[in-house]
Amino acid sequence: MTQSGAGEAEPTTRRTGRAYRLDAGRTVALSTAKAAWWTLNGAVARAVTRPTQGPRAQPIAPGAPAPDRSVLRRAWKEAFAKDAADVRAGLYPSPERLTSPLRALATAIDFVIDARAVDRRRRAGDGVEVRAEVDAAAYPAYYRQNFHYQSGGWFSSQSANRYEAQVEALFSGTAGAMRRRALSLLARALRDRDQRDLAIVDVACGSGAHLADLKAAFPRACVVGLDLSCAYLATAMRRSGAAGVQANVERLPFADNSLDALSCIYLFHELPPRIRPLAAAELARVLKPGGVLAFADSIQRTDAPELARLLELFPAFFHEPFYESFQTTDLTDLFGKTGLVEEASDTAFLTKARLFRKAP
Ligand SMILES: C[S@@+](CC[C@H](N)C(=O)[O-])C[C@H]1O[C@@H](n2cnc3c(N)ncnc32)[C@H](O)[C@@H]1O
């Protein structure tokens, strides 16, 4: 039983080839345990809630081919293999660490109990329950929703503490490995830079799993998390040991041309189409000339036509009101219009990462 993130890793520059290999072996062992644990958790939650039974289980696109399980399994395994290869190459330290069995069990029990409330919301089609629960007038309407039908939306510490379990169970333990495709691109892009000169912000850091990985990979850099949710930001700061800023991506509190690097993971599929260009322009504005953005989000249908059915089912089973429009958003073009040029990309399981650079 493991969890992602390790704030106290030593700088990768001081380590030897043998240490990298040991780290990679450790990553494989812990990732395997983690995959088994979260697959089990997901199976228990599904057994308790039976999400494929009832009115919302109707096939959405009866003509489309069912997702090929062997394709999925191969892609799932590949995510872990790429992660271990990057640890072996010294791009970042082993991201997995042991957590106490009691703590892991408590997290799992909380996740499974809450899965019933999630399922109730799903069956009722109620993705905005949170509007009646919190005084959230200061937040944009698109934000005041129970994304994923989660209890408390983005507004409670219980939700923030549970979030990582929900995504790891959903993706059978690959969430951390998928996010680290963005870390891999970033680590390659910044390999020759002195970390002490770097200011890096993880935009929409959520509950901080990637922020913790970022801090471990760049221990000497100034690494900051940013999120609109106070509750999620507090969890992220605690998990990673990084500093945090509460702000809306539409108005980033940073000067023009001031940051060396940004990461932004799983945000854009949750933004309405009219907000995406504003957010992209803000990310571009705050980057220094030559600065880089490591971006990761769901794969799109064009990346994996054989998984089209799965990508259609996703927003119906999890409240994702803007996912369909994300599927047809040309990200290269969206960021290209802000002056960010796509330089590299990498895919792991259901996530695609891209590296964009602002013209020097
Ligand atoms: C799907 S979660 C992803 C979190 C994290 N990056 C991860 O990989 O787990 C989306 C996050 O975006 C944040 N968010 C959504 N809209 C935002 C906005 N307009 N400005 C800043 N953060 C926002 C939410 O609070 C939430 O933490």
- With beta carbons less than 8 A apart as the criterion, state whether 194 and 260 touch: no
Number of residues that this document lists for the chain: 360
Average model confidence (pLDDT) across the chain? 88
- Model-wide pTM > 0.85: yes
Ligand 1 atom with the shortest distance to the CA of 163: 9
Q: Which atom of ligand 1 is closest in space to residue 140's alpha carbon?
A: 19
**pLDDT score of 55:** 59
Q: What is the pLDDT of residue 9?
A: 37
pLDDT at 231: 96
- With beta carbons less than 8 A apart as the criterion, state whether 246 and 233 touch: yes
197 confidence band (pLDDT: 50, 70, 90): very high
Sequence ranges of the domains in the chain: 1-360
328 phi and psi, to 5 degrees?
A: -105, 10
CA distance 44 to 227: 31
Calculate how far, in angstroms, residue 203's C-alpha sits from the geometric centre of ligand 1: 8
Q: Which fold has domain 1-360?
A: Rossmann fold (3.40.50)
**What is the pLDDT averaged over residues 332-342?**
98
Q: Which atom of ligand 1 is nearest to the CA of 210?
A: 8
Best mutation site among 270, 314, 326, 351 for ligand 1 pocket (most ligand atoms within 8 Å of CB): 270
In the predicted model, is pLDDT for residue 316 greater than 60? yes
Cα–Cα dist 134/299, whole Å:
32
Task: Tell me whether strands 351-358 and 243-246 are parallel, antiparallel or unpaired.
Answer: unpaired
278 CA → ligand 1 middle, Å: 15
Closest CA to 177 of 55, 92, 60, 79: 79
Residue type, 352: K
Give residue 54 CA to ligand 1 midpoint distance, Å. Answer: 31
Pocket probe for ligand 1: among 203, 267, 271, the residue whose CB has the most ligand atoms within 8 Å is 267
Three-class SS state of 104: helix
Question: Which tokens is 38 given?
Answer: 């979260």
Helix (H, G, I), strand (E, B) or coil at 358: strand
pLDDT tier, 158 (very low <50, low <70, confident <90, very high otherwise): very high
Q: Which residues line ligand 1 (CB under 6 A)?
A: 143, 154, 179, 204-206, 209-210, 227-229, 232, 248-250, 265-267, 270
Within the chain, residue ranges assigned H as helices are 17-49, 69-88, 101-124, 157-170, 175-189, 209-217, 230-240, 276-286, 308-317, 323-327, 331-336
Task: Give the separation between CA 285 and CA 275, rounded to whole angstroms.
Answer: 15
pLDDT, residue 47, reads 83
Question: Atom of ligand 1 at shortest distance to CA of 154?
Answer: 25
Distance 90 CA to ligand 1 centre (A): 29
* Residue nearest (by alpha carbon) to ligand 1 atom 7: 206
Q: How far is the CA of 82 from the centre of ligand 1 (A)?
A: 25
Q: How far is the CA of 206 from the centre of ligand 1 (A)?
A: 5
Gap between the Cα atoms of 206 and 161, Å rounded: 10
What is the rounded average pLDDT of the residues 175-186?
A: 97
The more confident residue out of 59 and 292 is 292
Ligand 1 centroid distance, CA of 118 (Å)? 19
Query: How many angstroms is it from 13 CA to the middle of ligand 1?
Result: 31
Q: Which of ligand 1's atoms lies nearest the C-alpha of 265?
A: 6
Mean pLDDT of 114-134: 84
